[in-house]
C-alpha cells in the first residue's frame, strides 16, 4: 500500500491506510498497545490488539520506545478520545529502527533542550515554529515579487561595516581580514542602479555582547531596497508587507498557532494602516503616560520600546530618530534637521523592533563626514561612494528581522526558539 501523510489520513477519516513516522507517545497493557505516531504533518493514535499479532511481533512492538521509526497499516475510525479525533486500528506494522531510550522527557530545562537541540527540533512546538517561519519567509518573498522586485543575492564576506564596527565578526580570509555581513545594504545600494527594485532573505551576523531575549549572533534578515523611493512610501511598503505576512500566517498556520497558544483573532485584528509617530512624540508619550523623562537625543532602549508599545495593539512606525545617533547612511530630514529620514517598526507585546529602515543619504560630503565620525577609513568605502558619483538617485530600504517577527507571531519567550540552531555569545553548539 502507498503511504499517505497523517494529515491526509485524518482528513480521510475511514478506510484502510498506510502511514509512517515516529513514536510520539506509547503505552501498553496486557491486551493493547497504544502508539501515538507523528510525522511532519500531524499525530494520530494507533491501537494494536495483542491477539492479532504473533508472540515475536508483539514483543517487538512492546519494546518499541519513543522516537522509534515505524510503518503502520490499519483502518481509520473516529474516536473523540483520541488526541486528533481518529484512531488507526493497526493490522500490520514494521519497526524501521528501534530507538534507544530517548533523552528528552517531560519538564526539562531550557538549557538542556538547547544542548540537545538536534533532537528537540522534532518537538511539536519547534516544528510548529519552523512551519510559521517558512510562511514568514515565503510571504515576504511573495509580497515583493508581486510588487515587481527581483531577488538579489548579496555577498556574506565583506570588507565593510554597515551597522558600526562594534558588532563585526572578523574572518581570516587568506592573508586578509574580512567580516561577516551585518546587512546587505551597501551592496543593495549599488545594485539598484541596475535593477531598481530588489529584495533578499539572507543570514546576517552581529557580535552582540548583551544577553537579551531579542538578540542573536546569527540571524536572518529580509531586506528590500528601491530606487526613487522616499521615507513615506518606504514605511507604507513595510506595513503592507507585514500585514501580508500576518494574513498568510493566519491563513496557512492556524494549526501551528494553536499548538503555540497564539490567539488568532488577535492577529486578525492587525490591519493597516499602522500608527505612525515620531521619535519626539514617542518621548512625549513616555513622559505623559509613563512618567518617564528621556532626554532628547538618547536612543530608545528595550524597556522604553516596551513601555511605548503598552499603548498599542498593532505595530507602530516610529520615524525621525535623532540624526546624531543614527548609522552614517541615514540622511538629515530637511524639515527637521536634528532628525533623520528613518523609521523603526516596533511590534506589540514586548517583541520590540522588528524593522529598521531609512532613506539613504545621497550627499557624498555628508556621508564622508558621518563615516569619519564613526571612526571608519573613507578609502575603504570609496567603492560605495561611487554610487553617489554616477547617476545618484533618491532611494530607500529596510531590513526585517525574521526571528523577531517569528518570535512575535509565535508568542515565544525567547528569540532563540525562532531559529533551529541558535547562536549567541554563549550558545554555539550543536
Query: Which residues in 4-33 contact Mg ion (CB under 5 A)?
Result: none
Minimum CB separation from ligand 4AD for residue 352, in Å?
8
Q: Does 185 bind ligand 4AD (CB under 6 A)?
A: yes
> Which lies closer to ligand 4AD via its Cβ, residue 183 or residue 339?
183
Minimum CB separation from ligand 4AD for residue 36, in Å?
35
Residues in Cβ contact with 310 at an 8 Å cutoff, skipping those fewer than 6 apart: 290
Cα 378 to Cα 177: distance, rounded to the nearest angstrom: 17
Closest C-alpha to 327, from 306, 287, 357:
357
**Stretch in the footprint of ligand 4AD (CB under 6 A) among 47-55, 108-116, 257-265, 391-399:** 391-399
Binder among 198, 250, 355, 412 for ligand 4AD (CB under 6 A): 355
Q: Does 206 bind ligand 4AD (CB under 6 A)?
A: yes
Closest C-alpha to 191, from 235, 150, 241, 232:
150
**Residue 315 touches which of Mg ion, ligand 4AD, none (Cβ within 5-8 Å per kind):** none
> Which lies closer to ligand 4AD via its Cβ, residue 21 or residue 315?
315
Cα 354 to Cα 346: distance, rounded to the nearest angstrom: 6
What is the bridge-based pairing of β-strands 157-158 and 197-205? Answer: unpaired
C-alpha cell at 46: 494507533
- Find the helix packing angle between 402-409 and 124-146, rounded to 10°: 120
> Which lies closer to ligand 4AD via its Cβ, residue 74 or residue 399?
399
Q: 5 near 39, Cβ under 8 Å?
A: yes
**Residue 355 touches which of Mg ion, ligand 4AD, none (Cβ within 5-8 Å per kind):** ligand 4AD
> Which lies closer to ligand 4AD via its Cβ, residue 38 or residue 117?
117
Q: 230 near 359, Cβ under 8 Å?
A: yes
Minimum CB separation from ligand 4AD for residue 77, in Å?
47
Minimum CB separation from Mg ion for residue 357, in Å?
9
Cα dihedral sign for 306, 307, 309, 313?
positive
Q: Does 163 bind ligand 4AD (CB under 6 A)?
A: yes
Cα 90 to Cα 73: distance, rounded to the nearest angstrom: 6
Binder among 74, 154, 315, 401 for ligand 4AD (CB under 6 A): 401
> Which lies closer to Mg ion via its Cβ, residue 331 or residue 356?
356
Binder among 361, 397, 410, 422 for ligand 4AD (CB under 6 A): 397
Site string for Mg ion, 328-367 (x = CB under 5 A): ----------------------------x-----------
Q: Does 416 bind ligand 4AD (CB under 6 A)?
A: no
Cα 96 to Cα 79: distance, rounded to the nearest angstrom: 27
Helix (H/G/I), strand (E/B), else coil: 176: strand
Cα 381 to Cα 98: distance, rounded to the nearest angstrom: 58
- For the residues of 350-375, what is the DSSP string, one character each? TTEEEEEEEE----HHHHHHHHHHTT
Q: Which residues bind ligand 4AD (CB under 6 A)?
A: 162-163, 183, 185, 206, 208, 215-216, 219, 221, 223, 353-357, 397-399, 401, 403-404
Q: Which residues bind Mg ion (CB under 5 A)?
A: 356
Amino acid at each position: 500500500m502507498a503511504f499517505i501523510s497523517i494529515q491526509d489520513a485524518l482528513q480521510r477519516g475511514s478506510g484502510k491506510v498506510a502511514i509512517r513516522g515516529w513514536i510520539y507517545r506509547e503505552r501498553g497493557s496486557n491486551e493493547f498497545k497504544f502508539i501515538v505516531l507523528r510525522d511532519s504533518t500531524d499525530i494520530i493514535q494507533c491501537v494494536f490488539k495483542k491477539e492479532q499479532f504473533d508472540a515475536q511481533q508483539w514483543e517487538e512492538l512492546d519494546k518499541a520506545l519513543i522516537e522509534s521509526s515505524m510503518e503502520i497499516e490499519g483502518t481509520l475510525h473516529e474516536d473523540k478520545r483520541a488526541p486528533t479525533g481518529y484512531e488507526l486500528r493497526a493490522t500490520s506494522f514494521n519497526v524501521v529502527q528501534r530507538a534507544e531510550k530517548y533523552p528528552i522527557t517531560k519538564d526539562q530545562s531550557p538549557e538542556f533542550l538547547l544542548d540537545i537541540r538536534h533532537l528537540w527540533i522534532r518537538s511539536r512546538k519547534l516544528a510548529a515554529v519552523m512551519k510559521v517561519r517558512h510562511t514568514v519567509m515565503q510571504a515576504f518573498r511573495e509580497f515583493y515579487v508581486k510588487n515587481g522586485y527581483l531577488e538579489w543575492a548579496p555577498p556574506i564576506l565583506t570588507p565593510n561595516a554597515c551597522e558600526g564596527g562594534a558588532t563585526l565578526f572578523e574572518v581570516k580570509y587568506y592573508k586578509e581580514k574580512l567580516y561577516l555581513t551585518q546587512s546587505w545594504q551597501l551592496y543593495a545600494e549599488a545594485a539598484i542602479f541596475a535593477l531598481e527594485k530588489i529584495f533578499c532573505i539572507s543570514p546576517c551576523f552581529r557580535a552582540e555582547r548583551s544577553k537579551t531575549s531579542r538578540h542573536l549572533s546569527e540571524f536572518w534578515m529580509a531586506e528590500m531596497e528601491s530606487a526613487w523611493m522616499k521615507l513615506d512610501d518606504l514605511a507604507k511598503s513595510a506595513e503592507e508587507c507585514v500585514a501580508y505576512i500576518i494574513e498568510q500566517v493566519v491563513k496557512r498556520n492556524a494549526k501551528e498557532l494553536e499548538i503555540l497558544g497564539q490567539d488568532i483573532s488577535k492577529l486578525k485584528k492587525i490591519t493597516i494602516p499602522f500608527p505612525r509617530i515620531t521619535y519626539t512624540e514617542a518621548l512625549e508619550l513616555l513622559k505623559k503616560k509613563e512618567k518617564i523623562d528621556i532626554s532628547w537625543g538618547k536612543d530608545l532602549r528595550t524597556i522604553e520600546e516596551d513601555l511605548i508599545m503598552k499603548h498599542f495593539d498593532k505595530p507602530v512606525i516610529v520615524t525621525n530618530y535623532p540624526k546624531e545617533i543614527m548609522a552614517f547612511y541615514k540622511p538629515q530630514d530637511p524639515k527637521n534637521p536634528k532628525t533623520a529620514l528613518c523609521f523603526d517598526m516596533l511590534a506589540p507585546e514586548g517583541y520590540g523592533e522588528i524593522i529598521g529602515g531609512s532613506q539613504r543619504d545621497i550627499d557624498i560630503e555628508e556621508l564622508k563626514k558621518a563615516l569619519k565620525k564613526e571612526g571608519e577609513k573613507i578609502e575603504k568605502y570609496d567603492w560605495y561612494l561611487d554610487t553617489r558619483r554616477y547617476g545618484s538617485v533618491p532611494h530607500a530600504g529596510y531590513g526585517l528581522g525574521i526571528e523577531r517577527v517569528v518570535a512575535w507571531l509565535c508568542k515565544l519567550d525567547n528569540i532563540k526558539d525562532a531559529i533551529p540552531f541558535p547562536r549567541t555569545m554563549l550558545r554555539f553548539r550543536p
